[in-house]
Structure 1
Amino acid sequence: MSASLAAHAAMDDNSQTHWYLVRTKTGKERWVRDQLAHVVPEVFLPMLKAKAPRWGRMAVSIGALFPCYVFARFDLQSQYFDVKYMAGVRAIVSAGNDPLAVPAAIVSEIRRRGVDDVIEIPDKPFGTGERVVVVDGPFRGFEAIFQRYLAGAERVAILLSAVESGGLRVVLSASAVVKDS
């Protein structure tokens, strides 16, 4: 076994290693992840795959889930300066002068939610023109036609079918409507 692999194996067994959040320079998350991988036992850069408007069309993009941050597991006593003063690193997230350890359960939960460290945002559940039913609020029980999302996926615009003149536009919380079955 090479010396660096032996050192990493020894560190993996060392209970002194903890997860820390490393703040990077803007846009340097991947570069810092790759550099840290040569120095510390484990590095985690959770990525987000989502559709975003680009040049008037929806395109799939993959970027850092937490821009400017990388998780790194290392021994603070022996590797603090290697990490803190690495090119591309701004700081180790701290309370005052004391770096804050991130609970391993948080890192595990983020990893659990993704595939190959990529978390995907599912498509919005309603499509334009789709029939929906209002399940909450003053219009409960009304059938409607979904028009569009407003302010992300939190609010929606619908056309109430009960109005004879082609529909009354109503803005509701997205949680107040469900697909008509």
Structure 2
Amino acid sequence: MLTSTRISSWYLLQCKPRQDERAQINLLRQNYTIFCPKIVSRRVVNGRSLQTVEPLFPGYLFIQLSRDDKWAPLRSTRGVSRIVDFNHGPAIVPDDVVEHLRTRCLKSSEIHTAQQFRPGETLQITRGPLSTLEGIFLTMLGDERVMILLHFLNREQPVRIPLTDIQRPQLSL
């Protein structure tokens, strides 16, 4: 008696333009296992700092399928454009790549909950050629950099600094 082994792999789906969320909802309704990596980022909109959750790969979703799964309904699922393929077959995404993306997305959310600067807040540069200078926080640039406004050489200059090279100024007595 033969038993079916359901070895599944991850594949990449391309969504129709601006229909990522629609594709996710329709795939979940059909009981597919999907993954849409999202990261937390900060943006300044109308002078206010907002924390947003954005897809890491807009227009694409990962889907986990085995040979026994129904592949045909994917072509007619609303929001889905196609299965990404290479060499005349669906491109398999290694499990460790998907796991790495899950970890990265989790770290992104931890960074933004642990270290939140407000626009206008004074920050001190702790490393590099500009160390000991203070600047005004403007915005986050992705997960690892910030933009601050420095008063330098009789001008105000926006400067990009790694997040690890700044901190709130230490109070001295």
Structure 2 length as normaliser, TM-score? 0.67
CA shift, 1:96, in A, is 4.5
Matched, 1:174 2:164: no
- In the other structure, the counterpart of 2:127 is 135
Residue pairs, 1:37-116, within 5 angstroms: 37-39=28-30, 41-75=32-66, 79-114=70-105
In 1, distance between residues paired with 2:125 and 2:86? 49
- Whether contact under 8 Å (2:122, 2:137) holds in the other structure is no
- In the other structure, the counterpart of 1:14 is 6
Q: Which of these two proteins has the greater Rg computed from alpha carbons?
A: 1
- Whether contact under 8 Å (2:49, 2:139) holds in the other structure is no
Residue pairs, 1:115-154, within 5 angstroms: 120=109, 122=112, 128=120, 130-133=122-125, 135-137=127-129, 139=130, 141=131, 143-149=132-138, 152=141, 153=145
Q: Secondary structure at the match of 1:62?
A: strand
RMSD over aligned CA atoms reads 3.7
Distance change in 2, residues 1:104/1:24 (3 Å)? same
CA shift, 1:20, in A, is 0.6
- Whether contact under 8 Å (2:117, 2:137) holds in the other structure is no
How many positions carry a matched residue from both structures?
Answer: 160
- Whether contact under 8 Å (2:41, 2:140) holds in the other structure is no
In 1, distance between residues paired with 2:105 and 2:99? 10
Distance change in 2, residues 1:37/1:50 (3 Å)? same
In 2, distance between residues paired with 1:54 and 1:71? 30
CA shift, 1:33, in A, is 1.8
Matched, 1:159 2:146: no
In 1, distance between residues paired with 2:70 and 2:84? 15
Cα-to-partner distance string for 1:4-57 (whole Å, 9 max, x where unaligned): xxxxxx98x511x21011111123222212222344541112333333344443
CA shift, 1:136, in A, is 1.7
Deviates more, 1:22-31 or 1:120-129: 120-129
In 2, distance between residues paired with 1:114 and 1:177? 22
- Whether contact under 8 Å (1:23, 1:68) holds in the other structure is yes
CA shift, 1:111, in A, is 2.2
In 2, distance between residues paired with 1:126 and 1:177? 17
CA shift, 1:78, in A, is 5.3
Unaligned runs of at least 5 residues, structure 1: 1-9
CA shift, 1:124, in A, is 5.9
Which one has more relative contact order, counting CA pairs under 8 Å at least 6 apart?
2
